[in-house]
Amino acid sequence: MSAVPGPAAGDAGDTAPGAAAGDAAPGGAVSAAGDASDASAGDPADAAVPDAPAGAGRTGADALRGTGMTGADAPSGATAGMTGPPAPEAAAHGPRYALGHGPQATGPDLLPADRLLDPGSPELDRLLTSEYEGSGHRTAHAAALTLIAVYAGRVTAAAVLQWALDGRVPDLRAENVLVRPSGHGIGGVWLRRNRMLTGAATAARPATAARPGAGSAEVTPAPPCGHVHASAGDRTSATCPACFRAATLPLLHRAVLDDHLLPFADALHRRTRAGLRQLRGGVAHGCATALCASQADPDELALRWDEFSATAPGGIGHLGEVAQVRRPDGTPRLVYLRRTCCLYYTSAEAVRCASCCLTGRAERLRAYAAGT
């Protein structure tokens, strides 16, 4: 029998206990009944990021490099995986982005992610129970709100960051993913098939600029996108990185959001009656964390978030914002400020997460700048 209590009568709604109706305004602090502390904890999306899982391959690149897809493997409108020299891999940015694959992607401790989309499945109950017990939550809907943030900030992080780096999209659709529960957090992510997804209009890889002495680059007529593209010595048409990202963005939205995180949020809503808007706020938080936690340039990451969120399904672009702060050593850092509450302060740790909407915007930025 599950250790997670059944849903309470009625919908948990989109507000935290003690908050006004609707989400707390990000500009002002709101005191919450039963909040034991105003201290900031690490974001739930940062919870329990382990070292690379066993079977993740010899290098980070191994864990993300696509092996190609057949038409049967590809989603509607997709073609073969891209070829050519690999760009910097998401896995090089830390263990959050590590993906296991191959023979090690088996075992009773691994849960098929597509089974988590069924609100009545034992797999969803097991993952929710793991978070409920690991966090010491008092209600199932609070555990669900924390779970969605840590899940989105780990399980699909590699796809979001890889797209931001070079426009490629690792196959992190639910049907291709297995996850390992680990108390408060996700203990590992495995792929059934190690591959990249590409859309039919994006088969060409972005070309690098011509090197001095490697043949002159000629300017070709501006394509419909309005960018000026250069083709190198072989005179093949090149796709600029910005256009490539724009072309693969719908595929990323479909693979990560439409086919995975948003149905997962729906399942948690039906299983626990946690507010759907709050759950989608956790999806937004996790996707933003995939960028904020990386080692890439914060200015570029902020632009990628704007691109990703502007047309993202589920309205997640309206559920928070990214901002830049400076660490004590002067280096810039991209952070995410939520507009929904994950109720983590009701867990056994009894503290607000660093991005909590119940804490004023200025106070959150100060805490992030101080290194919290």
Evaluate whether residue 228 is within a structural domain.
no
Q: What is the pLDDT of residue 104?
A: 67
d(CA 67, CA 50): 25
Among 356, 340, 359, smallest CA distance to 22 is for 340
Q: What is the pLDDT of residue 14?
A: 45
pLDDT > 90? residue 323:
yes
Domain that holds residue 256: 43-69+88-196+246-369
Evaluate whether residue 170 is within a structural domain.
yes
Evaluate whether residue 291 is within a structural domain.
yes
Q: What is the mean pLDDT of residues 282-297?
A: 96
273: tokens are 């009656």
5 and 140 Cβ atoms separated by less than 8 Å = yes
d(CA 81, CA 175): 17
CB environment 48-64: b (16+ within 10 A), e (fewer): bbbebbebbbeebeebb
Q: What is the pLDDT of residue 127?
A: 97
Q: In sequence order, what are the beta bridge partners of 324?
A: 334
Evaluate whether residue 95 is within a structural domain.
yes
Segment holding 282, helix H or strand E: helix 276-292
Evaluate whether residue 254 is within a structural domain.
yes
More confident site: 23 or 315? 315
pTM: 0.73
Number of C-beta neighbours around residue 136 at 10 A: 14
Total domain count for the chain? 1
Q: Collapse the DSSP code of 340 into the 3-class scheme (helix H, G, I; strand E, B; otherwise coil) and give the result.
A: coil
**What's the mean pLDDT when you consider all of the chain?**
73
Lowest mean pLDDT among 72-86, 88-102, 168-182, 239-253: 72-86
d(CA 175, CA 152): 16
pLDDT > 60? residue 331:
yes
pLDDT > 80? residue 239:
no
Residue range 155-198, pLDDT digits in tens: 999 999 999 999 999 999 999 999 999 988 899 999 999 999 96
Angle ∠(304,88,231) on CA atoms, nearest 5: 80
Q: What is the mean pLDDT of residues 13-32?
A: 34
Q: What is the pLDDT of residue 79?
A: 27
pLDDT > 90? residue 64:
no
pLDDT classification of 60: cutoffs 50, 70, 90: very low
Segment holding 179, helix H or strand E: strand 177-181
Q: Collapse the DSSP code of 190 into the 3-class scheme (helix H, G, I; strand E, B; otherwise coil) and give the result.
A: strand
Evaluate whether residue 215 is within a structural domain.
no
**Top-ranked range on mean pLDDT: pick from 73-77, 116-120, 132-136, 365-369:** 116-120
166: tokens are 């070079």
pLDDT > 50? residue 35:
no
30: tokens are 């709101």
d(CA 88, CA 83): 14
CA distances, 250 to each of 94, 208, 256, 289, 304 (Å): 26, 24, 10, 20, 14
Evaluate whether residue 230 is within a structural domain.
no
186 and 48 Cβ atoms separated by less than 8 Å = yes
Q: What is the pLDDT of residue 291?
A: 97
d(CA 44, CA 282): 9
Number of C-beta neighbours around residue 192 at 10 A: 17
More confident site: 259 or 68? 259
Evaluate whether residue 296 is within a structural domain.
yes
